[in-house]
Protein backbone atom coordinates (compact mmCIF):
# COMPACT_ATOMS: atom_id res chain seq x y z
CA UNK A 1 0.00 0.00 0.00
CA UNK A 2 0.88 3.66 -0.43
CA UNK A 3 3.26 2.97 -3.30
CA UNK A 4 4.17 5.82 -5.67
CA UNK A 5 5.76 3.78 -8.46
CA UNK A 6 5.84 5.59 -11.78
CA UNK A 7 4.89 8.93 -10.26
CA UNK A 8 6.82 12.19 -10.42
CA UNK A 9 6.74 14.22 -7.22
CA UNK A 10 8.01 17.74 -6.57
CA UNK A 11 8.70 18.71 -2.98
CA UNK A 12 9.60 22.32 -2.22
CA UNK A 13 11.80 23.13 0.76
CA UNK A 14 13.13 19.58 0.66
CA UNK A 15 16.71 20.50 1.46
CA UNK A 16 15.86 20.13 5.15
CA UNK A 17 13.16 19.45 7.73
CA UNK A 18 9.72 18.16 6.79
CA UNK A 19 10.34 18.52 3.06
CA UNK A 20 13.48 16.42 3.29
CA UNK A 21 11.66 13.69 5.20
CA UNK A 22 8.91 13.71 2.55
CA UNK A 23 11.45 13.46 -0.27
CA UNK A 24 13.12 10.46 1.38
CA UNK A 25 9.81 8.67 2.00
CA UNK A 26 8.43 9.35 -1.47
CA UNK A 27 11.60 8.00 -3.06
CA UNK A 28 11.45 4.93 -0.83
CA UNK A 29 7.89 4.35 -2.04
CA UNK A 30 8.97 4.42 -5.67
CA UNK A 31 8.49 8.01 -6.83
CA UNK A 32 10.94 10.03 -8.87
CA UNK A 33 11.44 12.99 -6.55
CA UNK A 34 12.37 16.51 -7.60
CA UNK A 35 14.10 18.03 -4.60
CA UNK A 36 13.36 21.76 -4.88
CA UNK A 37 15.07 24.18 -2.53
CA UNK A 38 16.46 27.70 -2.61
CA UNK A 39 19.67 26.22 -1.14
CA UNK A 40 21.23 24.22 -3.97
CA UNK A 41 23.82 22.59 -1.72
CA UNK A 42 21.13 21.36 0.68
CA UNK A 43 19.12 19.95 -2.24
CA UNK A 44 22.21 18.12 -3.49
CA UNK A 45 22.75 16.55 -0.06
CA UNK A 46 19.17 15.28 0.03
CA UNK A 47 19.53 13.77 -3.43
CA UNK A 48 22.80 12.03 -2.57
CA UNK A 49 21.20 10.55 0.54
CA UNK A 50 18.26 9.27 -1.48
CA UNK A 51 20.54 7.79 -4.13
CA UNK A 52 22.47 5.93 -1.43
CA UNK A 53 19.14 4.34 -0.48
CA UNK A 54 18.66 3.34 -4.16
CA UNK A 55 16.00 5.97 -4.70
CA UNK A 56 15.60 8.27 -7.68
CA UNK A 57 15.85 12.03 -7.14
CA UNK A 58 16.89 15.22 -8.91
CA UNK A 59 18.16 18.36 -7.18
CA UNK A 60 16.61 21.59 -8.40
CA UNK A 61 17.57 25.04 -7.10
CA UNK A 62 14.59 27.39 -7.13
CA UNK A 63 13.38 30.51 -5.35
CA UNK A 64 9.66 29.82 -5.03
CA UNK A 65 8.90 33.53 -4.59
CA UNK A 66 9.75 34.14 -8.26
CA UNK A 67 7.04 32.94 -10.64
CA UNK A 68 9.31 33.05 -13.70
CA UNK A 69 11.84 30.82 -11.95
CA UNK A 70 9.14 28.42 -10.78
CA UNK A 71 7.65 28.23 -14.29
CA UNK A 72 11.07 27.43 -15.76
CA UNK A 73 11.58 24.61 -13.25
CA UNK A 74 8.26 22.91 -13.95
CA UNK A 75 8.60 23.39 -17.70
CA UNK A 76 11.90 21.49 -17.53
CA UNK A 77 10.34 18.80 -15.34
CA UNK A 78 7.39 18.61 -17.79
CA UNK A 79 4.82 18.46 -15.04
CA UNK A 80 4.41 16.27 -11.98
CA UNK A 81 1.84 13.91 -10.52
CA UNK A 82 2.33 15.21 -6.97
CA UNK A 83 3.25 18.64 -5.61
CA UNK A 84 4.08 19.13 -1.94
CA UNK A 85 4.42 22.78 -0.92
CA UNK A 86 6.70 22.52 2.11
CA UNK A 87 8.91 25.61 1.70
CA UNK A 88 8.18 28.16 4.41
CA UNK A 89 9.52 30.69 6.89
CA UNK A 90 8.35 31.90 10.30
CA UNK A 91 8.33 35.07 12.38
CA UNK A 92 7.72 36.10 16.00
CA UNK A 93 5.69 39.24 16.57
CA UNK A 94 2.25 40.81 16.97
CA UNK A 95 0.77 43.33 14.52
CA UNK A 96 2.50 46.27 16.24
CA UNK A 97 6.04 44.97 16.11
CA UNK A 98 5.79 43.17 12.76
CA UNK A 99 7.50 45.38 10.24
CA UNK A 100 6.40 45.73 6.64
CA UNK A 101 9.60 43.95 5.61
CA UNK A 102 8.80 41.02 7.91
CA UNK A 103 5.21 40.87 6.68
CA UNK A 104 6.23 40.91 3.02
CA UNK A 105 8.85 38.21 3.58
CA UNK A 106 6.26 35.87 5.12
CA UNK A 107 3.79 36.67 2.35
CA UNK A 108 6.33 36.16 -0.42
CA UNK A 109 7.51 32.72 0.74
CA UNK A 110 4.50 31.22 2.51
CA UNK A 111 1.70 32.59 0.33
CA UNK A 112 3.11 33.66 -3.03
CA UNK A 113 5.47 30.69 -3.09
CA UNK A 114 2.54 28.30 -2.75
CA UNK A 115 0.55 30.24 -5.37
CA UNK A 116 3.48 30.20 -7.80
CA UNK A 117 3.99 26.44 -7.57
CA UNK A 118 0.28 25.61 -7.81
CA UNK A 119 -0.12 27.95 -10.80
CA UNK A 120 2.82 26.24 -12.51
CA UNK A 121 1.61 22.65 -12.08
CA UNK A 122 -2.14 23.04 -12.67
CA UNK A 123 -1.93 23.18 -16.52
CA UNK A 124 0.06 19.93 -16.59
CA UNK A 125 -2.31 18.21 -14.15
CA UNK A 126 -5.36 19.38 -16.12
CA UNK A 127 -3.86 17.98 -19.30
CA UNK A 128 -3.29 14.55 -17.75
CA UNK A 129 -6.63 14.69 -15.86
CA UNK A 130 -4.99 13.79 -12.56
CA UNK A 131 -2.78 15.21 -9.85
CA UNK A 132 -2.37 15.75 -6.14
CA UNK A 133 -1.40 18.97 -4.37
CA UNK A 134 -0.53 18.92 -0.67
CA UNK A 135 0.09 22.19 1.15
CA UNK A 136 1.74 22.71 4.52
CA UNK A 137 -0.56 24.84 6.64
CA UNK A 138 -0.29 25.00 10.44
CA UNK A 139 -2.16 24.89 13.73
CA UNK A 140 -1.78 28.70 13.40
CA UNK A 141 -4.61 28.70 10.85
CA UNK A 142 -6.87 26.87 13.30
CA UNK A 143 -6.21 28.61 16.64
CA UNK A 144 -4.83 31.93 17.82
CA UNK A 145 -1.14 31.75 18.70
CA UNK A 146 0.54 34.54 20.64
CA UNK A 147 3.05 36.64 18.69
CA UNK A 148 2.54 34.83 15.40
CA UNK A 149 0.63 37.53 13.52
CA UNK A 150 2.34 37.34 10.11
CA UNK A 151 2.84 33.60 10.29
CA UNK A 152 -0.83 33.00 11.11
CA UNK A 153 -1.82 35.31 8.25
CA UNK A 154 0.26 33.33 5.80
CA UNK A 155 -0.95 29.90 6.90
CA UNK A 156 -4.56 31.04 6.90
CA UNK A 157 -4.04 32.00 3.28
CA UNK A 158 -2.61 28.55 2.53
CA UNK A 159 -5.73 26.95 4.00
CA UNK A 160 -7.96 29.21 1.90
CA UNK A 161 -6.02 28.45 -1.27
CA UNK A 162 -6.30 24.74 -0.56
CA UNK A 163 -10.11 24.87 -0.40
CA UNK A 164 -10.32 27.04 -3.51
CA UNK A 165 -8.07 24.84 -5.64
CA UNK A 166 -9.83 21.69 -4.45
CA UNK A 167 -13.22 23.13 -5.49
CA UNK A 168 -12.12 24.63 -8.79
CA UNK A 169 -10.35 21.53 -10.12
CA UNK A 170 -12.34 18.66 -8.63
CA UNK A 171 -13.69 17.75 -12.06
CA UNK A 172 -10.20 17.78 -13.58
CA UNK A 173 -9.13 14.84 -11.45
CA UNK A 174 -6.98 17.07 -9.23
CA UNK A 175 -7.07 16.68 -5.45
CA UNK A 176 -5.82 19.37 -3.07
CA UNK A 177 -5.47 19.04 0.70
CA UNK A 178 -3.41 20.58 3.47
CA UNK A 179 -2.09 19.46 6.82
CA UNK A 180 -1.72 21.53 9.98
CA UNK A 181 1.24 20.42 12.06
CA UNK A 182 2.01 21.66 15.53
CA UNK A 183 5.69 22.10 16.38
CA UNK A 184 8.05 19.75 14.59
CA UNK A 185 11.67 19.31 15.67
CA UNK A 186 13.67 20.38 12.62
CA UNK A 187 16.86 22.40 12.04
CA UNK A 188 14.46 25.26 11.25
CA UNK A 189 13.06 25.11 14.79
CA UNK A 190 16.54 24.95 16.32
CA UNK A 191 17.60 28.01 14.33
CA UNK A 192 14.35 29.79 15.16
CA UNK A 193 14.87 29.27 18.91
CA UNK A 194 18.51 30.30 18.73
CA UNK A 195 17.65 33.52 16.89
CA UNK A 196 14.66 34.57 18.98
CA UNK A 197 15.64 33.27 22.43
CA UNK A 198 19.45 33.56 22.69
CA UNK A 199 20.82 32.09 25.89
CA UNK A 200 17.54 30.34 26.63
CA UNK A 201 17.63 27.71 23.92
CA UNK A 202 17.18 24.62 26.12
CA UNK A 203 14.55 26.28 28.27
CA UNK A 204 12.51 27.35 25.26
CA UNK A 205 12.90 23.99 23.54
CA UNK A 206 11.45 22.25 26.58
CA UNK A 207 8.69 24.83 26.93
CA UNK A 208 7.68 24.54 23.27
CA UNK A 209 7.82 20.75 23.48
CA UNK A 210 5.48 20.73 26.49
CA UNK A 211 2.97 22.97 24.70
CA UNK A 212 1.76 19.87 22.85
CA UNK A 213 -0.43 17.77 25.18
CA UNK A 214 1.45 14.69 23.98
CA UNK A 215 4.53 16.23 25.65
CA UNK A 216 6.97 16.54 22.74
CA UNK A 217 7.46 17.93 19.28
CA UNK A 218 6.76 15.78 16.23
CA UNK A 219 9.51 14.16 14.22
CA UNK A 220 9.65 15.12 10.52
CA UNK A 221 9.12 11.49 9.58
CA UNK A 222 5.78 11.43 11.43
CA UNK A 223 4.56 14.35 9.33
CA UNK A 224 5.83 12.69 6.16
CA UNK A 225 3.76 9.55 6.78
CA UNK A 226 0.51 11.55 6.75
CA UNK A 227 1.60 13.41 3.62
CA UNK A 228 2.38 10.09 1.92
CA UNK A 229 -1.11 8.80 2.65
CA UNK A 230 -2.84 11.94 1.37
CA UNK A 231 -0.78 11.90 -1.83
CA UNK A 232 -1.28 8.18 -2.48
CA UNK A 233 -4.00 6.52 -4.54
CA UNK A 234 -5.42 5.08 -1.31
CA UNK A 235 -6.59 8.63 -0.45
CA UNK A 236 -8.37 9.10 -3.80
CA UNK A 237 -11.66 10.13 -2.12
CA UNK A 238 -10.07 12.92 -0.07
CA UNK A 239 -9.95 16.50 -1.29
CA UNK A 240 -10.54 19.95 0.18
CA UNK A 241 -9.53 18.85 3.68
CA UNK A 242 -7.18 20.10 6.37
CA UNK A 243 -5.66 17.47 8.64
CA UNK A 244 -4.28 18.57 12.02
CA UNK A 245 -1.26 16.55 13.12
CA UNK A 246 -0.58 18.26 16.40
CA UNK A 247 -0.12 15.96 19.37
CA UNK A 248 -3.52 17.05 20.66
CA UNK A 249 -2.76 20.79 20.51
CA UNK A 250 -6.01 22.04 18.98
CA UNK A 251 -8.55 19.89 20.77
CA UNK A 252 -6.85 19.06 24.08
CA UNK A 253 -5.13 22.35 25.01
CA UNK A 254 -7.81 23.74 27.34
Residue 254: the pLDDT is: 63
Condensed to tens digits (0 to 9), the pLDDT of residues 150-194 reads 999 999 999 999 999 999 999 999 999 999 999 999 988 898 889
What is the distance between the alpha carbons of residues 211 and 206, in angstroms, rounded to a whole number? 9
Residue 158: the pLDDT is: 98
The average pLDDT across 225-239 equals: 98
Whether the predicted pLDDT of 131 surpasses 90: yes
* Confidence at 119, pLDDT banded by 50, 70, 90: very high
**What are the domain boundaries of the chain?**
8-182+220-244, 185-217
What is the distance between the alpha carbons of residues 188 and 90, in angstroms, rounded to a whole number? 9
The radius of gyration of the chain's CA atoms, rounded to the nearest angstrom, is 17
What count of Cα atoms within 13 Å lies in the side-chain half-sphere of residue 6? Answer: 1
What is the distance between the alpha carbons of residues 93 and 149, in angstroms, rounded to a whole number? 6
What is the distance between the alpha carbons of residues 162 and 136, in angstroms, rounded to a whole number? 10
* Confidence at 230, pLDDT banded by 50, 70, 90: very high
What is the distance between the alpha carbons of residues 47 and 104, in angstroms, rounded to a whole number? 31
User: Which of these is catalytic: 107, 115, 151, 159?
Assistant: 151
8-182+220-244 belongs to which CATH class?
alpha beta
Residue 42: the pLDDT is: 98
Condensed to tens digits (0 to 9), the pLDDT of residues 202-214 reads 999 999 999 999 9
DSSP state of 184: B
E strand spans, 172-232 = 174-181
Annotated catalytic residue 151:
yes
What is the distance between the alpha carbons of residues 192 and 206, in angstroms, rounded to a whole number? 14
Residue 196: the pLDDT is: 82
Percent of the chain with pLDDT over 90: 93
Contacts of 167 (CB under 8 A, 6+ apart): 240
Condensed to tens digits (0 to 9), the pLDDT of residues 95-107 reads 999 999 999 999 9
Contact (CB, 8 A) for 176 and 243: no
What is the distance between the alpha carbons of residues 118 and 74, in angstroms, rounded to a whole number? 10
Contact (CB, 8 A) for 43 and 37: yes
Whether the predicted pLDDT of 55 surpasses 80: yes
Whether the predicted pLDDT of 253 surpasses 90: no
Amino acid sequence: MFRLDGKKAAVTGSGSGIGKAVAHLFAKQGAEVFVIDVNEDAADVTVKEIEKENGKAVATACNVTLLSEVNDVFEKISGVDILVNSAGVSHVGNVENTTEIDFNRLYDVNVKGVYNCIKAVIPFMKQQKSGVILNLASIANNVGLQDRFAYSMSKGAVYGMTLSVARDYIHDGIRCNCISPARVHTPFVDGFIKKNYPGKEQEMFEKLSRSQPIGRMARPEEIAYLILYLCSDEASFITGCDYPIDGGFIKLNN
